[in-house]
C-alpha cells in the first residue's frame, strides 16, 4: 500500500438493505444496527432493497433526457425567474452555493398546489408553495416526475421509520408533520462538464434542508461527501442504489446525534455530462420539528453552530433561507423585501 492511498473504509459508504425490515426480527435488528451506525457516524449511505424497479426508473430518466435535449428556448420558457415559488428551470451558472456559481442546469419540481401568497402577518415561507412549470410538449415528464415523488415519498417514509426505530425512538414520531401537506421536492439535474474557470464546482459544499435525501446518480461520478477527517471523499456510483443523506432537520431533531453531512459535486471533465435526480423528503412548511425522545439524547453534541448557515426548526424557514441564497435572480425579482441589506 502506498502512503497516498485513501483508507478504503473511508472510500466505501455503508450499503443498507431496506428489505431486511420485512425479513423477521433478527434481520431487522441487524438492519437497525447498520442504520444507526451509518446515520450517526457518516450521515450518508447507499440504499438497496428499496423496491423501486428499473421500469419506473427508466420512465423518469428517459423523460429527463428528453427534457434536457429540448432546444434551450423551450427550457427557458420554464425559467424559474418567472416563478415566485422557485419552481422551474435554472440555467447553468444562475445558481449559487457558498456564494459561488454552480455549473449545472436543473428543473425544480414540488408538490402540485395552488400558489399561496402570504399575507403581511403570515410567514414568508408560504411563497414556496405554488404550481410547477412543465414543458408543453413533454407530458410524460409531468407523469413520471409526480409518480417519482409519490413513490420515493413512500420509500423515504419507510426508511425514516426504520431509522428512528434504530436509535430507539418511536418510529412514527414525525408522522404528523408529513401526510397530505408534506412539501417534497425533486430536482432533475445535469452537470454539463466543467465551467473552464478551474473551480470545478458542479454544486458547492452544502447540507440539505429537510429530513432525508434519496439521490439517483448515473455512472459518471463526482459526488463527494465530507468525512470525519474533514476531507471530501468520492461516492462511487452503485447501480440500482439510492445515495441517501440526512438533512438538517434530523440534526435539529436529535440535537446533533444524527448528522447532516456536507457534500458537493465536482464537475465532470469537459464534454462529459452527468445526470442526477435528488429527491428531498420534506415535511409541511409549517412543521415545527420537536426534539426527538430517544435514549441517546444525553449523548447528543448539539447542532452545528455555523453563523453562515443557521438551522431552523420550523421547516419553511429552513428551506426559504436556502432558496433565497441559491437563486439570487428569483430572490431579487420577487422577494427583495426578504433579502438582508448587503
Ligand atoms: O447531483 C448530486 O449528486 C447531488 C446534488 C445535491 O447534493 C443537491 O442538489 O442537493
Ligand atoms: Fe445536496
- Residues 226-269 have pLDDT tens digits of 998 999 999 999 999 999 999 999 999 999 999 999 999 999 99
At residue 270, the pLDDT reads 84
Q: How far apart are CA 68 and CA 81, in angstroms?
A: 18
- Strand-pair partners of 316: none
Please answer whether residues 200 and 104 qualify as being in contact, where contact means their C-beta atoms are separated by less than 8 angstroms: no
pLDDT band for position 342 (50/70/90)?
low
> 213 CA distance to ligand 2 centroid (A)?
8
Residue 81 Cβ contacting ligand 1 at under 6 Å? no
Name the grid cell of 180.
397530505
Residue 4 has pLDDT above 80, yes or no: no
Mean pLDDT, to the nearest integer, of 282-309? 93
Which CA distances in Å does 149 have to 16, 56, 75?
21, 12, 21
Give nearest CA residue, ligand 1 atom 3: 223
Cα 117 off chain centre by: 25
- Our answer on whether the CB atom of 208 is closer than 6 Å to any ligand 1 atom is yes
Cβ of residue 256 lying under 6 Å from some atom of ligand 1: no
State the pTM of this model.
0.96
- Sequence-separated contacts (24+) of 169-173 with Cβ below 8 Å: 169/292, 169/293, 169/294, 170/293, 173/292, 173/293
The reply to whether ligand 1 has any atom less than 6 angstroms from the CB of 189 is yes
Q: Is the CB of 95 under 6 A from ligand 1?
A: no
Ligand 1 nearest atom to the CA of residue 276, by list position:
1
Tell me how crowded residue 336 is: count the other CB atoms within 10 A of its CB: 8
User: With 60 as the cut, is the pLDDT of residue 169 above it?
Assistant: yes
pLDDT at 7 (0 to 100)? 46
- How many angstroms separate the CA atoms of 256 and 301, rounded? 6
Cα 203–chain centre separation = 12
Assess whether pLDDT exceeds 60 at residue 307: yes
Q: What is the reported pLDDT for 325?
A: 95
Q: How far is the CA of 23 from the centre of ligand 1 (A)?
A: 32
Phi, psi of 285 (to 5 degrees): -60, -35
Task: Cell numbers for 255, please give them.
Answer: 440535537
pLDDT greater than 70 at residue 164:
yes
**pLDDT recorded at residue 75:** 98
Q: Tell me if 129 CB under 6 Å of ligand 1.
A: no
Amino acid at each position: 500500500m502506498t502512503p497516498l492511498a485513501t483508507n478504503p473504509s473511508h472510500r466505501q459508504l455503508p450499503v443498507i438493505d431496506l428489505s431486511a425490515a420485512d425479513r423477521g426480527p433478527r434481520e431487522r435488528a441487524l438492519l437497525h444496527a447498520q442504520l444507526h451506525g451509518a446515520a450517526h457516524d457518516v450521515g450518508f449511505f447507499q440504499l438497496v432493497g428499496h423496491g423501486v424497479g428499473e421500469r419506473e426508473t427508466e420512465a423518469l430518466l428517459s423523460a429527463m433526457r428528453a427534457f434536457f435535449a429540448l432546444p434551450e428556448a423551450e427550457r427557458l420558457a420554464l425559467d424559474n425567474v418567472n416563478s415566485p415559488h422557485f419552481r422551474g428551470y435554472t440555467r447553468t451558472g444562475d445558481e449559487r452555493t457558498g456564494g459561488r456559481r454552480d455549473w449545472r442546469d436543473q428543473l425544480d419540481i414540488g408538490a402540485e398546489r395552488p400558489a399561496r401568497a402570504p399575507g403581511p402577518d403570515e410567514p414568508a415561507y408560504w411563497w414556496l408553495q405554488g404550481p410547477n412549470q412543465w414543458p408543453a410538449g413533454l407530458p410524460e415528464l409531468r407523469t413520471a416526475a409526480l409518480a417519482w415523488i409519490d413513490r420515493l415519498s413512500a420509500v423515504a417514509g419507510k426508511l425514516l421509520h426504520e431509522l428512528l426505530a434504530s436509535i430507539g425512538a418511536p418510529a412514527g414520531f414525525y408522522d404528523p408533520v408529513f401526510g397530505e401537506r408534506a412539501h417534497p421536492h425533486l430536482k432533475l439535474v445535469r452537470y454539463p462538464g466543467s465551467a473552464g474557470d478551474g473551480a470545478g464546482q458542479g454544486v458547492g459544499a452544502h447540507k440539505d434542508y429537510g429530513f432525508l435525501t434519496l439521490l439517483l446518480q448515473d455512472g459518471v461520478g463526482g459526488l463527494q461527501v465530507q468525512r470525519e477527517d474533514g476531507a471530501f471523499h468520492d461516492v462511487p456510483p452503485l447501480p440500482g442504489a439510492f445515495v441517501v443523506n440526512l438533512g438538517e432537520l434530523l440534526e435539529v431533531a436529535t440535537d446533533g446525534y444524527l448528522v447532516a453531512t456536507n457534500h458537493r459535486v465536482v464537475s465532470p471533465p469537459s464534454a462529459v455530462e452527468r445526470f442526477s435526480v435528488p429527491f428531498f423528503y420534506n415535511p409541511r412548511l409549517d412543521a415545527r420539528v420537536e426534539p426527538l425522545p430517544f435514549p441517546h439524547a444525553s449523548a447528543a453534541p448539539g447542532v452545528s453552530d455555523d453563523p453562515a448557515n443557521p438551522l431552523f426548526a420550523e421547516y419553511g424557514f429552513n428551506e426559504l433561507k436556502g432558496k433565497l441564497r441559491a437563486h439570487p435572480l428569483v430572490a431579487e425579482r420577487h422577494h427583495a423585501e426578504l433579502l438582508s441589506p448587503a
